[in-house]
Every structure is written in C-alpha cells, then in structure tokens.
Chains A and B, each alone.
Chain A
Amino acid sequence: MQCYVCAQSGKETEALGICIVCGMGLCKDHAIREDVDLWEGGYPFPSKKAKKKLPRILCAECAEVLT
C-alpha cells in the first residue's frame, strides 16, 4: 500500500500505517500516533484512568477533527 498523502503530490512512498478513522494509508512522515486514555471500572465502582494508554494511528485531517 502507498501513502495516500504522498501519492497526491506525485510521490510513491510505502505506507507504514493506516488511519484508524478513514483508512488512509500513511507513510512515516504523514502518520500521526496518538495515545488515547482508557477508563476502567464503572458502576458500581468509580471509573479510573488505566495506567496504560491505547495507541492509535491517525492522518492529519482526522487528527485535527478529533483533537
């Protein structure tokens, strides 16, 4: 799979990841890695933030919308 962003500018770059939201193939330069907080517990216990976070790969457009 090629990087979609690079392909738009005429470059052929191998994709290293896929945006979890839109499915766009992304190279190392265009992939944005974000850590998402996880909450555990819940009724009948209070929720608390988990020690570990959930990593996700996003493209620039989706990252802008979500953050």
Chain B
Amino acid sequence: MPQPTLLKRAIAELIGTFVLVFLGTGSVVTSVVFFGGVDSAGLLLIGLSFGFAVMIMIYAFGHISGTHINPAVSIALWATGRFPSKDLVAYVAAQLIGAVAASLVIVAIVGTRAVDAGLGHTMPGDGVSYWQAIAIEAVTTFFLVLVIWGAAVDKRAAGGFAGLAIGLVVAADIIVTGPIAGASMNPARTFGPLLTETFWGTTSGWEKFPIYIIGPIVGGLIAAFAYDYVSGIKSAGDKDES
C-alpha cells in the first residue's frame, strides 16, 4: 500500500475541513436558531464542538493527509520546509472547498434560517478594531500551531496524544477569545460561511476577511519558527516525510 496520491490526500483534507466546519459552525447555527443565541454556556459547547471536530479528524485522517484542515497550518509546514510546494495549492483548495460545502449543507439542512443566523461566520466583536482582531487571531493561531509542533511535528512528543492536545487548544482558544473576534484561527473556516452567505445575498463580511487570513498565517508562522528555534529541531524537521 503506497502513500496515498495527492488527489486522495486532498480529498481527505476536503472531508476533514468539511467535518470541522459542519460541526463547528453548525454548533453556532443551532445555538442561534434553536436556542435563541449564544450565552457563556453555549460558547463552551461551541468551543468543544470545534475542538472535538479537530480531534476526531486528526485521528481519522492524520496518517493519510496529515489533517491540516487549515491553510495556516499547511503554510506554516511549507514555510519551515516540511511540506512540498507542489502539494500546498491542492491542500488549500481542498480545505476551502470543504468549508464551503459544509456551509452549503448546513443551509440545505436548516434552511435559510441558518443564513439569517450568520452561518457561524467570524466577525470582530463590539469595540474590537481591525488590528486588534488581527492580533487576537494571530495569538490564538500561535497557540494552535505551537501545540501542533510540540505534540506532533517534534518526534520527541508522546505518541498518540496530538489529536487530544490540539483539539483542546482549539476549544480553549474559542472559549476565551470567541467573543473578541470569533476565534477562527483558520482562513478556510471563515471562508466557507462567508462565501455561502454571499450566495444568499449577504456580502457585508468580506471587508473583514483579511483579518482571518493575515492573523492566522502570521501567528502560525511565528509559532512554527519559534518552536523550531526553542526546541532545537532542524528546520527540515525530525519527522519530515522527505
């Protein structure tokens, strides 16, 4: 059984991102549509939904595609020489398609009420500036990528716990910073609901989209290079596939 082809790995990324966005943003939609809004308890459940989704897909597809399910993670792996350039475009495209597909399926199931509820899109909270939102996205993605590097990329890490650790850091990031700027940490996770809302005539979120591109990518890159420096693992990576 050889390594899966790029097509198969891209399909795994698509499915993984689909599950993440369906369960994650789906938890926001159901909170708003069926429970009337998101309070602090709802925020806890939303954080856990995202965290569980990331965790289960890491265990399901981690050995097949690597379960990046996040362009910021793929770019951080690529920038540190651990992920080939020829695979990067396919992975990011698959992640974006998977995210859009998940939002479309949510609308198909819940109806336009899901669009009215915002489809779980990410937006800065009241009183949060553009740059503050970029900063909080960078900080939360820094935590996420730092844990990915420490729990999975570094081969000295205890085996089998990466999915749990990464799921928990995603949940913690969302629970703490969700009200500030949505705690996306993932351009694909924001892109899916945004594009789907656009299909139904809501285009107001696009001016905020750069927040969720710049913040996660910058935070992810800082974390990747910081971990490589602090840990002493080579840029090429002890667990490099090449």
Contacts and interface: CB of A to CB of B under 8 A. Distances in A.
Interface residues of B, number: 25
Contacts of A52: none
A45 B58 CA distance: 11
Interface stretch (B62-70, B92-100, B109-117, B177-185): B62-70
B58 A43 contact: yes
Interface in A1-47: 37, 39-47
Contact of A44 (B2, B4, B73): B73
Contacts of A40: 241
A49 B1 contact: yes
B241 A48 contact: yes
Q: Per DSSP, are chain A's interface residues mostly helix, strand or loop, or mixed?
A: strand
B195 interface: no
B2 A49 contact: yes
A44 B64 contact: no
A43 B163 contact: yes
Given A49-B1, A49-B2, A44 B63 contact: no
